[in-house]
């Protein structure tokens, strides 16, 4: 993370030549502490950007423009396949092999609608160049074997692979991945808008692949696409971090050697603007017994400015923030208040990953006959705004949000370099100025001045880009309970039609080819090929841990933790309330309490006024429910945590806001409450298909530990069903809800339950403690926290039916916590299983998009999971065999070394300042001290094949006996699975 306030001194100047690269431009962006270089490789024309700063998490990404000309998914299948192996690294799955033994902090590949990007990141220089070297070689010189194409793309096989008389089916990882994507209403919603808003361009096709069209891709077409686009002359290489520019250039010189400049036509064409608006209808799957009422999504989309018109693009982004960015946004509010739907559609907002940017807004939970009303409402609202103008505070709040987020150092699941890469590509990909969108603070300054001089600025934007812009699409996505079965039937017929004319000999050939592929997949790589990959050694890894500066103190009487960290002028406050003794019947209401408290009115202000206040003075106010085991596994802890963050100048106001929410929150606005209930229910529903494996793991783990039980109750299907119940009869339930929530907040928001956590640097911390003291003073005091009861945890194997074309299969078993000597070996084993056994059998051979294992010592659960899986029974067999595999096989020293490095890499994942403060608090709840962490790390680093094997036998022999299974899958697949399973799955629906 960046920790200084200056940008690096430039070491090269425009016009310089180094290692065959011409320096085109050098710019210092003081506000971002970045020195930016734009360069070109003279021989090939490869374009290079380096954002030099003091972040030691360096990022390398090579990207190509890859606009598709059909929906066979060739860019996506290629994205998977190039990473399989190259001449220099002739492996079957170089990506997986590479991932095993590095300290990478990020390694991935992305297919966008018009580009394909391959990023890697590491905090260790040797590791970084190892990764970048292999990645570049794979991308530019892949083997693209036929077997890889079959495995990643598609191949024919039989439902019983040995029997050519059984049904003919298609298998392929991308094929199954996309079947999953085509079951998610959110993905389908986005897809029909993109394809129909730009009907005459590459965006009319799905670069990911439509399951119907993937089959049409040939091996020759696949290789031709690589030849056409994967050349340095079509490449854009993005570099970020503290490694000096010259070192990158020396490295790139070597990597680009041997290539010449070639002419490539990869330009993305613009969509001609329509003369009049258009509309489109689509459908998505719901369960057979589900009621289709209030399940339609109605969206209105506009094609706006070219991305390269950076001023218009930024102004439109801000306008979108004003219109729908907060609960006070007038367009959002008009839609929600209209009652024409349940909540804002999840695709609402600005989309910049396209040549011409789009704005989408709409409602989810609506009905098809209301579509034109929704459209009229949107247009009327915009018309009124263009005429009467915007509330000044609303614009101020939006500008503040942009300022805040431009300033905040964020490192969520992605490195910060990825965030900046995204911004750069918005213009760079279309031959615009790559630096245009980087300097957010500077841009905001400019826009503020413009707005001051010209108060009607945003009204004009609304007029020009929305009201007077005929390129508008009304999109209606309706639920269809027959969708699923029709798709299945169509697939069956299609496969039968392919099969019918085939002779016995031809069928036998399909069987033999599929068998040959399986043989290829199960053969180990040649040792020389594995040895060709550069790798780190355990002895080069630091034995020390990174400590998070922490001082334990008290604010008034309330225990507090203080972290003095560089946060770039932003202060973070966590308020963690102990909820371990909350009566069982109220536990399920806790997420709703968090949601409503942070989104309703308080202290005499209604929700809209509160939302404005939050946008003006904070970077967001949120909540979180968390539970875990103490490190010794004897006790558990449970907390409801509120978080607020603010620029230093706003700390007092921000803490006041959270204090008002806790002490003077107002839950009486029933309409708002109902809207928030719908929003939560719809959000949970939409999350099932994209993260079905997590839902399945929650269901399987729920009977195994109290923290896992809470996780299911607060975030799993139990919560979803509860929200269905609450929203289904809201009028009947509302009084009871309010009464329960009132009881809860009186019980919870007291001094005795509170634990404070403060993160900022010295100046920020003193502001924060003063403000926090005020907050504590205002909280009531109501006796002590009682003892925790043990919940009555349900158990048994479940099969949850979902409207999807694929399955998610989880098996969970109780596992030890951190203090147990088994925890270190189990962490290594879960990693080894994820990248080895399960990866190979579930993904490579089974054709599922993912197969993995997860071990969480904090909740005491070990699990096997599959993602977008075409199988259920077969996958469960693989899980059972996994027990034999780990207990029966001893890992080789080489493999162990990789697993150790990979495990350490995951433990050392960099965190942004706010997460560091948060994680320190979580460790404290667990009682996991730095001393313990050091110990744990040593145990991992010193692991031997013998002790790992011994631990595997000790644990897994017993674990298998208490395994619990949960499967999320389509109804028919579950029924079929139950015909053969010994232990039946108890069928359930989400309704």
Q: Report how far residue 906's alpha carbon sits from residue 832's, in angstroms, rounded to the nearest whole number.
A: 13
Q: Which residue is nearest to Zn ion (CB)?
A: 177
Q: Shortest distance, CB of residue 106 to Zn ion, whole angstroms?
A: 16
Q: How far is CA 105 from CA 128, 408, 903, in A?
A: 10, 20, 11
How far the first Cα of the chain sits from its last, in Å, is 45
Residues 176-215, one symbol each (x = binds Zn ion by CB under 5 A, - = not), give -x--------------------------------------
The answer to whether the beta carbons of residues 64 and 498 sit under 8 Å apart is no
What number of other Cβ atoms are within 10 A of residue 263's Cβ?
8
Taking the complex as a whole, how short is the minimal distance between the CB of residue 179 and Zn ion, in angstroms? 12
Convert residues 23-42 into a mask of x (bound to Zn ion by CB under 5 A) and - (unbound).
Answer: --------------------
Site residues (CB under 5 A) for Zn ion, limited to 151-180: 177
Q: Where are the beta strands (DSSP E) in 668-718?
A: none
Q: Return the bridge partners of 773, or none.
A: none
Is the Cβ–Cβ distance between 360 and 198 less than 8 Å? Answer: no
Per-residue tokens: 537: 């050694």
Measured between alpha carbons, how far is 153 from 221 in angstroms, rounded to an integer? 12
Pick the closer one to Zn ion by CB: 85 or 330: 85
Do 362 and 298 meet the contact criterion of CB atoms below 8 Å apart? yes
d(CA 176, CA 245): 41
Instruction: Give min distance, CB of 209 to Zn ion, in A.
Output: 9
**738-746 LR contacts (CB < 8 Å, sep 24+):** 738/667, 738/668, 738/673, 740/586, 740/589, 741/589, 741/592, 741/593, 741/596, 741/667, 742/667, 743/586, 744/582, 744/586, 744/589, 744/590, 744/593, 745/593, 745/597, 745/662, 745/665, 746/782
As measured in angstroms, the least distance from the Cβ of 321 to Zn ion is: 31
Cα–Cα distance for residue pair 720/692, rounded to 1 Å: 13
Question: Least separation, in Å, of the C-beta of 282 and Zn ion?
Answer: 23
Nearer to Zn ion, 177 or 912 (CB): 177
Q: Least distance to Zn ion from the beta carbon of 230, Å?
A: 17
What is the nearest approach in angstroms of Zn ion to the Cβ of residue 208? 7
Residue 403 · residue 443 · CB < 8 Å: no
**Residue 501: CA count within 13 A, CB half-sphere:** 3
Least distance to Zn ion, CB of residue 119, Å: 15
Residue number, 209 or 417, with CB nearest to Zn ion: 209
What letter would DSSP give residue 31? G
Binding mask 818-847 for Zn ion (x = CB under 5 A): ------------------------------
Q: Is 474 exposed, middle or buried (0-12, 13-18, 19+ CB in 10 A)?
A: buried
**Locus of tokens 């804002």:** 344
Among all chains, which residue has been given the structure tokens 């965190």?
Answer: 911
Nearer CB in complex with Zn ion: 867/928: 867
Contacts 24+ apart (CB under 8 A), 16-25: 17/42, 18/246, 18/249, 19/246, 19/249, 19/250, 19/252, 19/253, 20/253, 21/48, 21/249, 21/252, 21/253, 25/435
CB of 186 to Zn ion, least distance (A): 17
- Dihedral angle over CA of 120, 121, 124, 125, nearest 10: 60
Residues 238-267 that bind Zn ion (CB under 5 A): none
Local structure of residue 807 (DSSP, 8 states): B
Q: Which is nearer to Zn ion, 172 or 432 (CB)?
A: 172
How far is C-alpha 424 from the chain's CA centre?
20
User: CB 852 → Zn ion: shortest distance, Å?
Assistant: 15
* Residue 545 to residue 203: CA distance in whole angstroms: 47
How does 328-338 read in b/e, with b if 16+ C-beta sit within 10 Å?
bbbbbbbbbeb
CB of 80 to Zn ion, least distance (A): 6
CA angle 26, 420, 446 (to 5 degrees): 70
Instruction: Of 234, 236, 226, give the one whose Cα is nearest residue 62.
Output: 236
Whose Cβ is closer to Zn ion: residue 97's or residue 177's? Answer: 177
Residue with smaller CB distance to Zn ion, 400 or 843 = 843
Residue 866 Cβ vs Zn ion, minimum distance, rounded to whole Å: 15
Report how far residue 853's alpha carbon sits from residue 963's, in angstroms, rounded to the nearest whole number: 14
Which residue reads 């899980």 in tokens?
A: 879
Catalytic residues: 79, 152
- Beta carbon nearer to Zn ion, 127 or 177: 177
Residues whose CB is less than 8 angstroms from the CB of residue 240 and which lie 6 or more positions away in sequence, other chains included = 50, 51, 53, 55, 58, 59, 415, 416, 417, 420, 421
Of the pair 81, 659, the CB lying nearest Zn ion is at 81
Considering beta carbons, is residue 177 or 675 the nearer one to Zn ion?
A: 177
Q: Give whichever of 411 and 868 is closer to Zn ion, judged by the CB atom.
A: 868
Q: Which residues pair with 281 in a beta bridge?
A: 476
Quote the CA–CA distance of 868 and 845 in Å, as a whole number. Answer: 14
Nearer residue to Zn ion within complex by CB, 177 or 712: 177
Count of residues that bind Zn ion according to CB under 5 A: 1
* Residue 71 or 271 with smaller CB distance to Zn ion: 71
DSSP-H helix ranges across 370-439: 371-388, 392-407, 416-428
642 sits in which H/E element = strand 636-647
**To the nearest whole angstrom, how small is the minimum distance from the Cβ of residue 500 to Zn ion?**
32
Angle at 788 between CA 747 and CA 632, to 5 degrees: 130
What residue ranges bind Zn ion (CB under 5 A)? 177
């Amino acid at each position: 993370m960046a920790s200084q306030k200056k940008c690096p001194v430039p070491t090269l100047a425009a016009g310089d030549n180094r290692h065959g690269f011409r320096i085109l431009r050098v710019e210092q962006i003081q506000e971002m502490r970045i020195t930016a270089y734009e360069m070109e490789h003279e021989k090939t024309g490869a374009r290079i950007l380096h954002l030099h700063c003091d972040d030691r998490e360096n990022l390398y990404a090579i990207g190509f423009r890859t606009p598709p000309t059909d929906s066979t998914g060739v860019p996506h299948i290629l994205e998977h396949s190039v990473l399989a192996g190259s001449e220099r690294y002739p492996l079957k799955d170089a990506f997986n092999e590479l991932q095993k033994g590095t300290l990478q902090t990020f390694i991935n590949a992305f297919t966008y609608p018009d580009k394909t990007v391959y990023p890697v990141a590491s905090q260790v220089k040797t590791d970084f160049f190892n990764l970048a070297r292999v990645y570049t070689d794979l991308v530019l010189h892949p083997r693209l074997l036929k077997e890889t194409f079959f495995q990643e793309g598609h191949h024919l096989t039989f439902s019983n692979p040995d029997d050519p008389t059984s049904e003919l089916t298609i298998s392929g990882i991308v094929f199954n991945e996309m079947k999953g994507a085509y079951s998610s209403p959110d993905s389908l919603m986005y897809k029909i808008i993109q394809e129909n808003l730009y009907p005459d361009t590459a965006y009319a096709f799905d670069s990911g692949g439509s399951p119907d069209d993937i089959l049409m891709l040939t091996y020759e077409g696949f290789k031709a696409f690589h030849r056409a686009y994967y050349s340095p002359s079509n490449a854009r290489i993005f570099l970020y971090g503290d490694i000096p520019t010259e070192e990158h250039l020396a490295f790139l010189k070597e990597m680009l050697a041997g290539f010449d400049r070639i002419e490539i036509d990869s330009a993305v064409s613009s969509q001609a603007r329509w003369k009049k608006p258009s509309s489109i209808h689509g459908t998505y799957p719901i369960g057979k017994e589900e009621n289709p009422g209030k399940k339609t999504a109605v969206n209105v989309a506009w094609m706006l400015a070219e991305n390269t018109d950076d001023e218009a693009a930024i102004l439109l982004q801000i306008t979108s923030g004003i219109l729908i960015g907060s609960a006070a946004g007038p367009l959002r509010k008009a839609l929600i208040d209209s009652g024409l739907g349940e909540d804002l559609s999840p695709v609402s907002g600005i989309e910049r990953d396209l040549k011409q940017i789009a704005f989408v807004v709409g409602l989810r939970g609506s009905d098809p006959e209301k579509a034109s009303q929704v459209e009229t409402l949107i247009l009327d609202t915009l018309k009124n705004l263009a005429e009467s103008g915007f509330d000044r505070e609303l614009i101020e709040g939006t500008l503040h949000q942009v300022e805040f987020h431009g300033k905040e150092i964020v490192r969520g699941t992605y490195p910060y370099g990825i965030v900046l890469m995204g911004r750069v590509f918005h213009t760079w990909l279309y031959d615009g100025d790559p630096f245009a969108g980087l300097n957010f603070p500077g841009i905001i300054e400019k826009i503020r001045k413009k707005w001051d001089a010209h108060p009607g600025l945003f009204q004009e934007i609304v007029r020009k880009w929305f009201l007077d812009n005929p390129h508008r699409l009304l999109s209606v996505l309706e639920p269809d309970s027959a969708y699923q079965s029709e798709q299945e039937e169509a697939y069956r017929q299609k496969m039968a039609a392919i099969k019918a004319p085939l002779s016995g000999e031809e069928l036998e050939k399909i069987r033999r080819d599929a068998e040959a592929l399986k043989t290829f997949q199960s053969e180990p790589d040649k040792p020389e090929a594995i040895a060709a990959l550069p790798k780190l050694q355990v002895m080069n890894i630091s034995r020390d841990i990174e400590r998070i500066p922490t001082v334990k103190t008290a604010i008034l009487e309330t225990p507090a933790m203080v972290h003095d960290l560089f946060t770039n002028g932003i202060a973070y406050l966590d308020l963690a309330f102990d909820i371990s003794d909350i009566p069982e019947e109220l536990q399920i209401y806790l997420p709703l309490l968090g949601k409503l408290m942070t989104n309703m009115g308080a202290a005499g202000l209604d929700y809209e006024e509160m939302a404005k206040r939050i946008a003006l003075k904070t970077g967001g106010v949120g909540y979180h429910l968390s539970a875990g085991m103490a490190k010794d596994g004897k006790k558990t802890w449970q907390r409801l945590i509120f978080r607020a963050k603010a620029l230093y100048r706003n700390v007092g106001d921000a803490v006041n806001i959270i204090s008002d929410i806790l002490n003077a929150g107002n839950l009486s606005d029933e309409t708002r409450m109902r809207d928030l209930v719908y929003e939560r229910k719809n959000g949970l529903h939409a999350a099932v298909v994209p993260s079905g494996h997590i839902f399945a793991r929650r269901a399987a783990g729920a009977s195994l530990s109290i923290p896992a039980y809470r996780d299911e109750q607060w975030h799993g299907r139990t919560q979803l069903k509860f929200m269905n119940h609450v929203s289904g009869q809201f009028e009947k339930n509302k009084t009871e809800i309010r009464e329960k929530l009132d009881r809860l907040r009186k019980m919870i928001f007291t001094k005795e339950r509170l634990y404070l956590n403060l993160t900022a640097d010295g100046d920020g911390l003193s502001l924060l403690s003063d403000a926090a003291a005020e907050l504590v003073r205002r909280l009531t005091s109501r006796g002590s926290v009682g003892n925790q009861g043990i919940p009555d945890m349900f158990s048994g194997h479940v099969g949850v039916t979902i409207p999807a074309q694929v399955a998610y299969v989880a098996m969970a078993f109780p596992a030890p916590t951190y203090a147990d000597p088994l925890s270190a070996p189990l962490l290594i084993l879960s990693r080894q299983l994820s990248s080895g056994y399960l990866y190979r059998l579930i993904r490579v051979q089974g054709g599922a998009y993912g197969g993995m294992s997860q071990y969480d010592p904090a909740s005491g659960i070990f699990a096997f999971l599959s993602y977008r899986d075409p199988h259920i029974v077969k996958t469960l067999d693989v899980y059972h065999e996994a027990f034999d595999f780990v207990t029966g096989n001893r890992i080789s020293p080489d493999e162990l070394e990789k697993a150790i490095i990979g495990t350490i890499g995951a433990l050392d994942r960099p965190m942004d300042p706010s997460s560091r403060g948060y994680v320190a608090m979580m460790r404290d709840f667990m009682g996991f001290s730095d001393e313990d962490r050091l110990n744990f790390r040593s145990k991992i680093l010193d692991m031997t094949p013998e002790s790992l094997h011994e631990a595997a036998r000790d644990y897994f022999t017993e674990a298998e006996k208490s395994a619990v299974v949960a499967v999320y899958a389509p109804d028919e697949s579950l029924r079929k699975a139950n015909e053969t399973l010994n232990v039946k799955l108890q069928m359930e629906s989400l309704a």
